[in-house]
Structure 1
Amino acid sequence: MSRGDAAAARELRTALAHTDGIVATTPPLPSEDGAVSTVLAFPATSPQDEGTTDLVHTLRDRVLPPLAARTGAEYLVGGPTAAAQDFADSVADRMPLFVAVVVGLSALLLMVVFRSLLIPLKAALLNLLSIAAALGVITLVFQEGWFGAQPGPIEAFIPVMIFAIVFGLSMDYEVFLVSRIHEEWERTRDPSHAVREGLAATGKVITAAAAIMIVVFAAFVLSPDRMLQQFGLGLAVAVLLDAVVIRCLIVPAVMRLLGARAWWLPAPLARRLPKVGLERPDAGRGGPEPGSG
């Protein structure tokens, strides 16, 4: 509480004592100059319990505003639990914009490079699919308590970090595979042959690179730190699904079904987009090297 006197602090303690979910409070603890007083409230639930999060919102939205209007004092809810909830709310509010910017820019770059409208859409949807599956596994294991894990909340920054890292890795695999398919398409104009050759040339490299990363990320699960366990499990599952299921199964199947339509780009848009290529001048047989372009 700030800008309040002793009477306002006492009213705060009384209001907290009559709030559901609070089992005990301390007497007001004034600062040296008396301008600020602190009242400690002890919830009935643990810091990571959903009930404690609801209690923070209840205090801010329902309990303290009428009290502040009556006393004229300013009341603030602080502490580690409230700070963690504020961070989680801030991340949740900005997550849609973050996802939209990353996915939008990535799709735009793929459209410029491959001069296709469907390939960027396919890449964005499949990348989001692997990320969503990884976050679902984290929720089942660490929030719902599957496989003997202690149920509890997911660290607020975990979804953001997993999205950023996995989306970058997925896009790297996508460019590596589709660029080889694009080479064969430009050379033969046979969509079935292009998909077959692209997968044959890049499948082993993608699988080997993913296997290394899966082992590294899975090692984090052995850490006693819960945050590292969540981080490692999410990344390992996402890379496994992306490399094995999406890149080696779904992407070739979708490209085969689309056929020549995969490389369709509306003429007005094609005239406005710059021409950018990943292939080397001497490419045609071996395919692009990882990281080239």
Structure 2
Amino acid sequence: MDYGPYTNEAIDTISEIRETIKFTLNNTDLHDATALVGGVTAGIKDLLDTQRNDFIFIIIIVIGAIYIILALLMRSLVSPIYMVGTIVLSFATTMGITYAIFKYAFGYEGLVSTVPIYGFVILIALGVDYNIFLMSRIRYEFESGKTTKEAIRDGLSVTGSIITSCGIIMAGTFAAFLVSPMKTFLELGVAIVVGLILDTFIIRTLLVPSIAIKVGELNWWPKRKIRVTSESRTKQK
């Protein structure tokens, strides 16, 4: 082979070797035998496969749990859909930008396998916090007697500066990882900083409110709390 044992080509070759052995044994008297491929490269491949399967499981569990919590909090089945969707979109975009930075600016072959897992957990947690803060305020404004569009406008105006400040502070905190000599911490630091900036200035400030305005009254489906206005209070008196 012309490549080292830690390269992607070597790792891909392990699958080819295992498939070849399996196919060869099926045509012999040893078709019931179990053939194992060992070594450093095979161990790395097994570790990556396990991490990939665990990551998929983590994504499903986390997203499902977040949706249920948001649905209970917002008392709606519609708004949590795009709230979770924008968080996932933000994470995917962040990983793409991070990969591009290290691939084309620093010449790395890819990201450390654990970076997407850690980055997902951290960015999802922070994104949910900002989502809850924003949408809870919007619902409060809506239940105060305002239309959905007015509630979104006023809710964003009240929470916008706070969310932006929190995002900048958190990004500055995790920026400490950027001076780490360890590749894992460096990549994770870049991913979190990029994700927080993206989430603070684009996702939470522009995308989520825009979707909420387009969805309109369906934001509160299936249950809408009766809104009490000053006019109804006057009539009751």
Other-structure match for 1:93: 53
1:163/1:146 Cα in 2 relative to 1: closer, same or farther (>3 Å)? same
2:7 is matched with 49
Which of these residues, 245, 250, 253, is aligned with residue 210 of structure 2? 253
- Mapping of 1:188-207 within 5 angstroms? 188-207=145-164
Instruction: Name the SS for the 2:36 alignment partner.
Output: coil
Contact 2:133 2:159 in 1 (8 A): yes
Is 1:224 the counterpart of 2:181 in the alignment?
yes
Give the secondary-structure state (helix, strand or coil) at the position aligned to 1:125: helix
For the 8 Å contact 1:48–1:153, the answer to whether it is kept is no
In structure 2, C-alpha distance between the alignment counterparts of 1:206 and 1:117, rounded to whole Å: 24
Q: Deviations over 1:174-230 (max 9, x none)?
A: 001111111111111321221122112111111111111112223322322211121
Q: Pairwise mapping of residues 93-132 of structure 1 onto structure 2 (< 5 A)? A: 93-132=53-92
Q: Give, as a single letter, the amino acid of the residue that structure 2 aligns with 1:99.
A: I
Between the aligned partners of 2:190 and 2:89, the Cα distance in structure 1 is: 16
Q: Which residue identity does 2:68 align to in structure 1?
A: L
Q: Please give the alpha-carbon distance, in whole angstroms, between the structure 1 residues aligned to 2:159 and 2:119.
A: 25
Deviation (angstroms), 1:87: 1.4
Equivalent residue runs for 1:160-171 within 5 Å: 160-171=117-128
**In 1, are the aligned partners of 2:11 and 2:44 still within 8 Å (CA)?**
no
Report the Cα offset of residue 140 of structure 1: 1.6
- What TM-score do the two structures reach when normalised by structure 2? 0.84
* Shift, 1:79, TM fit: 3.4
The residue aligned with 1:62 is 20
Q: 2-side partners of 1:64 and 1:230: how far apart?
A: 38
Q: Tell me what 2:97 maps to.
A: 137
Question: Quick check: which one's helix share is greater?
Answer: 2
SS at match of 2:144: helix
Q: Deviations over 1:99-144 (max 9, x none)?
A: 12211121111111111122100111100010000111122233xx
| 85-94 vs 117-126, which moves further | 85-94
Say if 2:75 and 2:223, in contact at 8 Å, map to a contact too: no
Contact 2:134 2:156 in 1 (8 A): yes
In the alignment, residue 144 of structure 2 is paired with which amino acid? Answer: R
* Structure 2 spans left out of the alignment, 5+ residues: 226-237
Unaligned runs of 5+ in 1: 1-20, 22-43, 271-293
Q: Cα 1:264–1:249, aligned 2, differ >3 Å: closer, same or farther?
A: same
Matching residue of 1:265: 222
Aligned-pair identity in percent equals 30
Once residues 127 and 247 of structure 1 are traced to their aligned partners in structure 2, the CA distance between those partners, rounded to angstroms, is: 9
TM-score relative to the length of structure 1: 0.69
In structure 2, distance between residues paired with 1:76 and 1:258 = 55
Higher relative contact order structure (alpha carbons within 8 Å, sequence separation ≥ 6): 2
**Distance in 2 between residues matched to 1:253 and 1:229, nearest whole Å:** 34
Whether 1:177 aligns to 2:173 is no
